[in-house]
Amino acid sequence: MNKMMNKLPIIAAAFLILVNMIVLAGVNYNRSGEANANLQLTERELSLPYRSYRQKENSGLALKLNWGIVPAKLFTNNYRKYALYSHGTPNWLTEDKLKALGIFIDSTKPDINEAAFDNGKLPAEAFIIVLEYNGETFQALLRKAEKDIQKLRDTVEKNPDDGGSMKQLKRDEEALTQLKTSASRLIAIDAGRNLQTLKEKYPDSSQYLMMRGELRRYWANRKLSARINKLFISNIHVPLPYSEEVNEITNREISTKGYNKWKGEPRYRFELNVGKRLEPWVGEAGGL
Amino acid sequence: MDNKFKAQQRADQVQAFNAEIKCLKDENVLELDDNQRIAISRYQTSLLEALTHQFDIDTNVRQKQLSTGMKIASFVGALALAASIFFLFYQFWGYLTTPVQVSILTAAPLLTLLLTYLISQREDTGYFTKLMAMVSFACFVLNLVMLGQIFNIAPSDKALLAWAVYGFLLAYAFDIRLLLAMAILSLAAFIAARVGSWSGMYWIYTGERPENLLLPAMIIFSVPMFNNRWINQKNFNGFSPIYRVFGCMLFLIPVLVLSNWGRGSYLNIEPDIIEGFYQLTGFIVSAGLIALGIKKQWSDVINTGNVFFVLFLYTKIFDWWWEIMPKYLFFLVIALSSVLMLFVYKRVRKQSQLSGGPDE
């Protein structure tokens, strides 16, 4: 064994220190200067997590970032009519938008064989997703839902004996109440590759949140489409003392029940910041 | 003698020599006179004492059996200790402030590294050193994973590179094959993730394209060929075979997967053609590895090549005939193919015996 080998433990120790310094410098860089986003969110957007039996021993707290997309076909689910889902194809993710995102549709489009239309051949790619908080998109959705339910109310008024419509109206009214009081108001409204361009387009840091996420293309009837699969960071760690504050406000629901079934008015608020590397962190917290 | 592997080989050689001398004496072929016997005995005793002192080798069968038990115990102990540290942190980290969490996470791998070094200086057997080194590696994995969670850092393939580097450093510093294997797997995952991202794919999904592993496999297989004045693989206890076996496996497993799942390929052609291509590749590469292993006297490569050749052959036989043949005939075909392979191996073995030379 030569001298070099004897020095390896020292090199290993130096390596450990170096890696930790790089990680912490990255964190410091992300949080330095003006934040890319600074929003006041509530339990609607940052809910308590579901905690399975396997994670029962986890004493840390990470809140789930809830957001939704507005699909081209709205209100198609009769049981959760006005619920918004955080995965799927938003109405703005058209073929033109895919071209604008730099996806070369023409070269992707195969000429002959079926093999080339295989969805498995289309990889998931990282993009910056823009989320709008309680903006025009969410308000338009609310208006549309109100209009939709009004139609059903009119139908029920005209046919008071129609039990099916009555039941549907009751379900839809509950769904609308949830949309108004407990559903997330963060809606994915755009995507892009260049942060600067997106910041110029959406300059209001108290309304727009930009985070990295994943888009996956797929073939639908030989036409290229895409869906937002997920945000890379969807669980936001809550440090002390804020985690203790949340635990007090929610009567330690997460550690006693392990899951969150809250469907009422939000109970707490949080300041959510997103830094230079589009990594979020929570600021001040409080009750509502 | 510069490593434990060679020292153990020498001790085994001494035992074999003594056993053979005893046989020769029993068969009245050769009997050493008293002077020769005493001289040999003295030489062997001092040699074995020196080797035992320096490398803690096994000088008899009972010691060897116990050593195997100790290796298993140290492996299980390391895994359990690493899991215990992980769950201990998970149980209490919510009650700690961020600076305390960060201090614990960064200090844990450093402290366990220091402990590993101190134990290695005081211990002959190396089992506790290995145990502590593996715990240190686990602490470093926990370190980066938990810093990622605490500061909401997006998952990055660079963590794989950091784990690989630390694994290699520990493996070479304390001569630990298990950590070398972990470092190799981390490095392979990192290179595969990079290869995947060249095609536009997000790195986490690199496994969707098994071809991403072919380049890292070739790099890992070729590592033992590049020895320099700082690192010579021959100085480390069985490191070269580990590089070669992992290189072979990381190449042949994706080929085996693609030979049955052509849709997983980058190639934009009919899956049937892709599967056929990889089936052929699998046969050629595994047969080539057997030939290379025989030529270079690498028993590890021969065995890996053999296993994969058989796997490729049997999956193909299953593909072709399971549906159409009566089951008795199907198993008869497998039995006959095994017999045929026995003949082939027997012939190769005979040639190897004629050419002579010890295995590495």
Work out whether the CA dihedral B341, B342, B348, B349 comes out positive or negative.
Answer: positive
| Gap between the Cα atoms of A16 and B137, Å rounded | 11
Query: Which among B152, B202, B230 has the least Cβ separation from residue A281?
Result: B152
How far B20 CA sits from the closest chain A CA (Å)? 34
Helices marked H in B56-126: 61-92, 98-122
Q: How far apart are CA A76 and CA B360, in angstroms?
A: 69
First to last CA, chain B: 16
User: CB–CB of A113 and B166 under 8 A?
Assistant: no
Indicate yes or no: CB of A123 within 8 angstroms of CB of B205: yes
Per-residue pLDDT of chain B (360 residues; tens, 9 = 90+): 566 777 778 888 888 888 888 888 888 888 888 888 888 888 888 888 888 877 777 777 777 777 778 778 878 888 888 888 888 888 898 899 999 999 999 999 999 999 999 998 887 777 888 889 999 999 999 999 999 999 999 889 999 999 999 999 999 898 888 899 999 999 999 998 988 888 777 888 888 889 989 999 999 999 888 776 666 777 777 888 999 999 999 999 999 999 988 888 888 788 888 888 999 999 999 999 998 988 888 888 998 998 999 899 888 888 888 888 888 888 888 888 888 888 887 877 776 666 554 444
Higher pLDDT, B333 or A254: B333
Contact at 8 Å (CB) between B135 and B81?
Answer: yes
Name which of A100, A97, A190 is nearest A136 in CA terms.
A190
**Option in A1, A118, A239 nearest B263 (CB):** A118
Size of interface A-B (CB pairs under 8 A): 134
State the Cα torsion A146-A148-A154-A155 to the nearest 10°: -150
A191: left (phi over 0), alpha (psi -120 to 50) or beta: beta
Other CB atoms within a 10 A radius of the CB of residue B120 amount to 18
Do residue B90 and residue A4 have CB atoms under 8 angstroms apart?
A: no
pLDDT at A109: 55
Chain A residues touching residue B2 (CB < 8 angstroms): 1
Q: Do A13 and B263 touch (CB under 8 A)?
A: no
- Kindly determine whether residue A57 and residue B268, on different chains, have CB atoms separated by under 8 Å: no
**Cα–Cα nearest to A209, from A39, A30, A29:** A39
User: Whole-angstrom Cα distance, residue A38 to residue A283?
Assistant: 9
Provide the pLDDT confidence category of residue A18 given band limits of 50, 70 and 90.
Answer: very high
Question: Do A189 and A132 meet the contact criterion of CB atoms below 8 Å apart?
Answer: yes
Which of B153, B170, B235 comes nearest A279 by C-beta? Answer: B153
- Residue B136, exposed/middle/buried by CB under 10 A (0-12, 13-18, 19+)? buried
Q: In this structure, what DSSP letter does residue B232 have?
A: -
Identify the pLDDT of residue B352.
63
| pTM for the model | 0.83
pLDDT at A119: 61
Instruction: Pick the more confident residue, A96 or A39.
Output: A39
Alpha-carbon gap, residue A261 to A254, rounded angstroms: 10
Q: Looking at the partner chain, which of B91, B169, B172 has a beta carbon nearest the beta carbon of A57? A: B91
Confidence of residue A3 (pLDDT cuts 50, 70, 90): low
Query: Which residue is associated with the tokens 């990192």?
Result: B190
Contact A123 B208 (CB under 8 A): yes
Tell me the per-residue pLDDT of A107-155, one tens digit each, with 9 for 90 and over: 555 554 555 566 666 778 889 999 999 999 999 989 988 888 888 888 8
Whole-angstrom distance, CA of residue A184 vs CA of residue B257:
42
Best A15, A23, A122 member to test B by mutation, with max B CBs in 10 Å, is A23
Q: Give the chain B residue whose CA is nearest to the CA of A8.
A: B173
Q: Which residues of A touch B92 (CB under 8 A)?
A: 59
Contact between A120 and B263 using a beta-carbon 8 Å cutoff = yes
Residues of B in contact with A13 (CB under 8 A): 110, 113-114
Residue A232 near residue A212, CB atoms below 8 Å: yes
Question: B163 and B141 in contact (C-beta within 8 Å)?
Answer: yes
Token couple for B90: 């998970």
Nearest-neighbour CA in chain B from A143: distance (Å): 35
Q: How far is A277 from chain B (nearest CA, A)?
A: 9
* The predicted structure's pLDDT at residue B280: 92
Buried b (16+ CB within 10 A) or exposed e, B186-220: bbbbbbbbbbbbeeebbbbbbebbbbbbbbbbeeb
Report the C-alpha gap between B135 and B81 in whole angstroms. 7
**Which residues of chain B make contact with A113, given a CB cutoff of 8 A?**
269-270
From chain B, the residues in CB contact with A57 under 8 A are 87, 90-91
| Pairwise CB contact (< 8 Å): A16 & B109 | yes
- Predicted confidence at residue B255, as pLDDT, reads 94
Tokens of B330: 């199907």
Q: Residue B105 contacts by C-beta under 8 Å, 6 or more apart in sequence?
A: B89, B142, B143, B146, B147
pLDDT on residue A255: 57
Nearest-5° angle of CA B59, CA B60, CA B62?
Answer: 130
Residue B275, min C-alpha distance to chain A (Å): 13
Interface probe for A, chosen from B111, B144, B152 (most Cβ of A below 10 Å), is B152
User: Which residues of chain A neighbour B149 with C-beta distances below 8 Å?
Assistant: 60, 62, 237
Task: Give the one of B209, B230, B268 whose C-beta lies nearest to A4's C-beta.
Answer: B230
On chain A, the residues whose CB falls within 8 A of the CB of B268 are 110, 115-116, 121
- Considering only CB atoms, which chain B residues are within 8 Å of A32? none
Q: Which of B202, B233, B237 to mutate to test the interface with A (most CBs of A within 10 A)?
A: B202
Q: pLDDT tens for residues A217-252?
A: 887 777 778 889 889 998 999 998 898 888 888 877
- Indicate the residue of A110, A118, A279 with minimum beta-carbon distance to B151: A279
Nearest to A27 among B151, B200, B268 (CB): B151
Chain B, nearest residue to A126 by Cα: B202
pLDDT of residue A55: 65
The span from the CA of B77 to the CA of B71, in Å, is: 10
Amino acid letter, B280: L
Nearest residue, CB atoms, A232 vs list B95, B155, B271: B155
Q: What residues does B179 pair with on adjacent strands?
A: none
B342/chain A closest Cα distance in angstroms: 41
Side chain identity at residue B145, one-letter code:
V
Chain A residues touching B156 at Cβ < 8 A: none
Q: List the single best residue of A64, A228, A237, A244 to mutate versus B (max B Cβ within 10 A).
A: A237
Other C-beta atoms within 10 Å of A54: how many? 7
In this predicted structure, what is the pLDDT of residue B358?
43
Give residue A120's pLDDT: 63
Among the partner residues A115, A123, A233, nearest to B270 by beta-carbon distance: A115
Residue A54, pLDDT score: 61
Q: Quick check: B144 and A23 CB within 8 A?
A: yes
Q: How confident is the model at residue A156 (pLDDT cuts 50, 70, 90)?
A: confident
Contact A152, A172 (CB under 8 A): yes
Residues of B in contact with A235 (CB under 8 A): 152
CA dihedral sign of residues B336, B337, B338, B341? positive
Nearest-neighbour CA in chain A from B219: distance (Å): 23
CB A89 within 8 A of CB A226: yes
Rg (alpha carbons) of chain A, rounded to whole number: 23
Phi-psi region of A211 (alpha: psi -120 to 50; beta: other; left: phi over 0): beta
